[in-house]
């Protein structure tokens, strides 16, 4: 059942090219200028009435939501707030019939996410559910559904569900942006064509796994490992850090790189490993100077960037490259090496990768 792999997690990591492809199938198609979404009935008239979007989720799904905020605001130009479901419910959020809520949940059964959905519905909001389980509670309660076609995810640490949630975020962002006319057909085509290359490019990233295995083998004994990034890279840094702590029990945090100097940089000492994500072109130079700041304080940095952006090599201890794509799509490719890093680190430590201590696959208590 593990298809020749040692753990479900590594099997599921390898299933990502297919999961990405399946989630786009019949929705985003080459030579078709329309996005087809069977279970989303929101009309352009209804969208005109929407003045804010909340994306609500927990854990990894929340990290996908952070990417969602960025791309929806960028493409559809509608203000988006992202909230952790267990916080959203108790902060008395402003919800009315002008609110669109997007809930993201692999299982569709997470108690806090479901409760936030019900709260929003009772106050008149329209709800789109992004879930991996057909007929799950969130799918049943929502007005519209966008299924991620990741297939069953067994490992507690979410991997293929996350990348398909990212694809769902792009699909929703593009759908809304076409519906309210904020992007042209030409802009749509450019993003669509690039999205269609992601299955192949994600396979190329998987093919670099030995490099990450080596890094894990020489760093698994560390007590703290930090992740830094700016913009979308920060959202991916949070996900990479969660993956590591969840399965390897190594203490880890992710920081917005520009925020380091406001406190967290005090943690950097000689030999501490830092994973630095530098995919975003507008932020690349800023990232390089943030990396210099921590290297000069002794950090051992592994830097991630697009192929061709080799400037980081002058500063970092090791560089890992991902295939070139649009900046907004980088999270899909960038998260894969971070999943591999977490996986190999946990394996080196002899941890129970698929069933980490204290955790359950689906959290159905509040
Ligand atoms: O089923 P859900 O997507 O609602 O689950 C949300 C979180 O519990 C989940 O993503 C959790 O953070 C994962 N174990 C992370 O790998």
Per-residue pLDDT of the chain (366 residues; tens, 9 = 90+): 899 999 999 999 999 999 999 999 999 999 999 999 988 999 999 999 999 999 999 999 999 999 999 999 999 999 999 999 999 989 999 999 999 999 999 999 999 999 999 999 999 999 999 999 999 999 999 999 999 999 999 999 999 999 999 999 999 999 999 999 999 999 999 999 999 999 999 999 999 999 999 999 998 899 999 999 999 999 999 999 999 999 999 999 999 999 999 999 999 999 999 999 999 999 999 999 999 999 999 999 999 999 999 999 999 999 999 999 999 999 999 999 999 999 999 999 999 999 999 999 989 888
Q: How far, in Å, is the centroid of ligand 1 from the Cα of 47?
A: 29
Q: Which ligand 1 atom minimizes the distance to the CA of 138?
A: 4
- Ligand 1 centre from 62 Cα, in Å? 8
Quick check: 147 and 3 in contact, CB under 8 A? no
Q: How many degrees, rounded to 5, is the angle at CA 77 between CA 50 and CA 229? A: 125
Which residue's CA is the nearest one to ligand 1's atom 4? 105
Sheet with 144-147, strands from edge to edge, namely: 80-84, 52-57, 99-105, 126-131, 144-147
Q: Is the CB of 113 under 6 A from ligand 1?
A: yes
Atom of ligand 1 nearest to the CA of 57: 4
* Pocket residue to mutate for ligand 1, from 55, 61, 241, 365, most atoms within 8 A of Cβ: 61
Q: Is the CB of 58 under 6 A from ligand 1?
A: yes
The residue contributing the CA closest to ligand 1 atom 10 is: 60
Q: Write out 204-231 in H/E/C secondary structure.
A: HHHCCHHHHHHHHHHHCCCCEEEEEECC
Atom of ligand 1 lying closest to residue 363 CA: 8
CB of 157 closer than 6 angstroms to any ligand 1 atom:
yes
**From CA 351, how far away is CA 343, in angstroms rounded?**
10
């Amino acid at each position: 059942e593990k298809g020749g792999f040692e753990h479900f997690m590594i099997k599921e990591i390898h299933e990502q090219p297919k999961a990405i492809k399946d989630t786009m199938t019949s929705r985003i198609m080459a030579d078709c200028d329309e996005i087809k979404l069977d279970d989303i009935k929101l009309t352009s008239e209804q969208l005109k009435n929407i003045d804010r979007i909340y994306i609500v989720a927990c854990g990894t799904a929340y990290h996908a939501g952070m990417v969602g905020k960025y791309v929806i605001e960028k493409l559809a130009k509608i203000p988006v707030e992202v909230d952790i479901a267990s916080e959203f419910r108790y902060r008395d959020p402003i919800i009315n019939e002008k609110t669109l809520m997007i809930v993201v949940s692999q299982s569709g059964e997470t108690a806090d996410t479901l409760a936030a959905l019900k709260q929003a519905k009772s106050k008149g909001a329209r709800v789109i559910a992004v879930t991996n389980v057909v007929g799950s509670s969130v799918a049943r309660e929502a007005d519209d559904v966008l299924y991620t076609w990741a297939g069953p995810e067994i490992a507690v640490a979410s991997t293929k569900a996350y990348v398909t949630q990212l694809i769902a975020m792009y699909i929703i962002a593009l759908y809304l942006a076409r519906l309210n006319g904020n992007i042209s057909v030409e802009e749509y085509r450019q993003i669509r064509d690039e999205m269609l290359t992601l299955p192949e490019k994600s396979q190329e990233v998987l093919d670099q796994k030995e490099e990450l295995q080596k890094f894990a083998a020489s760093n698994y004994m560390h007590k703290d490992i930090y992740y830094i990034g700016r913009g979308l890279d920060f959202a991916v840094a949070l996900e990479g850090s969660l993956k590591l702590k969840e399965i390897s029990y190594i203490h880890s945090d992710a920081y917005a790189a520009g925020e380091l100097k406001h406190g967290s940089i005090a943690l950097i000492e000689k030999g501490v490993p830092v994973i630095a994500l530098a995919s975003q072109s507008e932020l690349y130079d800023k990232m390089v100077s943030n990396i210099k700041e921590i290297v000069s304080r002794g950090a051992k940095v592994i830097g991630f960037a697009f192929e061709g952006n080799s400037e980081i090599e002058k500063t970092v201890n090791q560089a890992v490259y991902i295939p070139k794509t649009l900046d907004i799509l980088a999270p899909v490719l960038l998260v894969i090496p971070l999943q591999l890093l977490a996986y190999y680190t946990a394996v080196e430590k002899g941890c129970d990768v698929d069933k980490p201590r204290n955790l359950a696959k689906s959290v159905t208590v509040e």
